[in-house]
Amino acid sequence: MDESLGIREASLAEIALVFLKLGTVAFGGPAAHLAIMEEEFVRRRRWITHADFLDRLAIANLIPGPSSTEVAIFVGQSKRGWRGLIVAGCCFIIPAAVIVSVIAWAYVRFGSLPRASGVLYAIKPAVVAVVIQAVGKLARTGLRTIPLAIIAVLAAASRLWEVSPVLVLLFAGLASAVSFMLKNQNARRSVISPAVLRLPKIFASAMALAAMGAAFPVTLTRLFLSFLKIGSVVFGSGYVLLAFLRTEFVQHLHWLTDKQLIDAVAVGQFTPGPLFTTATFIGYLVAGWTGAVVATAGIFLPGFALVAVSGPLIPRIRKSAVAAAALDGVVAGSLALMAVVAVQLGKASVVDWTTLIVLAVSLIMLLGFRVNSAWVIAGAAVIGWLIR
């Protein structure tokens, strides 16, 4: 049966409300966000098919910026064009940015972060359960052939050997395209839209604009351009973001100490929504409420621009047999990365019998009773708070 036959439309108001909710309750980082989005938009609301969701996940992993936020922007764009793109992205980001700004205000006033160890203690194994559920659901569509399953296994092994996520995805896409061409020697390469060729120019322009910041004194303009540069080039996890932030704000500009930077990253980890709201915290430390807004706009703006450019290309890529095969490989690689994240989170999160029980109960609630993942995470947070 064609999945697209059951796809529902969505108003801008509905898009706004749903993404505001997700931005408020989506704890656990990109893998957890994507798992929650898959449940919300593919299975519950039927806004997008599994195949379309995976295509957008694959493209989001290939462009700089926060992948889960870019998937959110992609979903909004698919439902309501450029208006949906802006509404979905902003509504996913704003709740987290507000929460982080308030924490930054308390941090500046009281000199320390609020204690959240108890809440995180129970949330983490619940997040692992959510990611496991999502990988299993998406694998049915993304790993539909034996070659794609083999590519996913090889991609996961490569990532466990500390190969860069971008290289893992490029390998997966190339391997899938080569496999397709070997099986279909008569396959012809379709010409992809010239817009694909313009993507490197977009990156170069963003970098050139950001480099102009060297001519400015320490101002809001410099703050914006610094985060615009970082948002234009950062691939991978929050640890990659940490390296860029340290180089820019500790070593180069001397605006932060190492302790302040670590605290900023910690806030991004234990608050809901995108991890890139670390920028919001830093912006507040540097220039107060205005700095928080400017820094948030700077780091997320490249993601909006890249999604706006790449979104219309996905259907054209699918029309080229070889390009579609490469995209299938990137999808398989993306699922492998999610699986590796689940393993790594599991090792760090399941540390005793209590966390093992939280993981098991979460899996039972998700798989057996189909409870909404947001409620599972919220319930785990309450349990953690009560225990600790």
Check the CA dihedral 368-373-374-376 and report its sign.
positive
Q: What is the pLDDT of residues 195-230, one digit of tens each?
A: 444 444 444 454 444 444 443 455 899 999 999 988
Supply 227's token pair: 């985060």
Check the CA dihedral 313-319-323-329 and report its sign.
positive
How far apart CA 325 and CA 172 sit, in angstroms, is 10
How far apart CA 110 and CA 102 sit, in angstroms, is 12
How far apart CA 15 and CA 334 sit, in angstroms, is 25
Supply 381's token pair: 């947070």
3-class DSSP state of 162? coil
pLDDT band of residue 141 (cuts 50, 70, 90) is confident
The tokens 């090889």 sit on which residue?
154
What mean pLDDT comes out for the span 77-87?
95
pLDDT of residue 239: 52
Q: What is the largest distance, in Å, between two alpha-carbon atoms of the chain?
A: 68
Backbone dihedral region for residue 187 (phi beyond 0: left; psi -120 to 50: alpha; all else: beta): beta
How far apart CA 30 and CA 276 sit, in angstroms, is 10
What mean pLDDT comes out for the span 115-120?
68
Asked whether 180 and 321 are in contact (CB, 8 A), the reply is yes
How far apart CA 6 and CA 46 sit, in angstroms, is 7
Residue at 225: amino acid letter: L
pLDDT of residue 208: 45
What mean pLDDT comes out for the span 83-94?
96
How far separated are the first and last CA of the chain, in Å rounded? 49
What mean pLDDT comes out for the span 243-257?
85
Asked whether 24 and 31 are in contact (CB, 8 A), the reply is no
Of 41-55, 102-116, 142-156, the range with the lowest mean pLDDT is 102-116
Q: What is the pLDDT of residues 33-48, one digit of tens each?
A: 998 999 999 989 999 9
Instruction: Indicate whether 329 pLDDT > 50.
Output: yes
Least Cα distance to 40 among 94, 79, 98 occurs for: 79
Q: Which of 159-168, 242-251, 364-373 is modeled with the greatest confidence?
A: 364-373
pLDDT of residue 201: 47
Return all residues near 246 (Cβ < 8 A) that are at least 6 apart.
258, 261
Least Cα distance to 338 among 19, 71, 7, 18 occurs for: 71
What mean pLDDT comes out for the span 16-42?
89
Mean pLDDT of the chain: 84
- How many other CB atoms are found less than 10 A from the CB of residue 167? 14
What mean pLDDT comes out for the span 175-182?
91
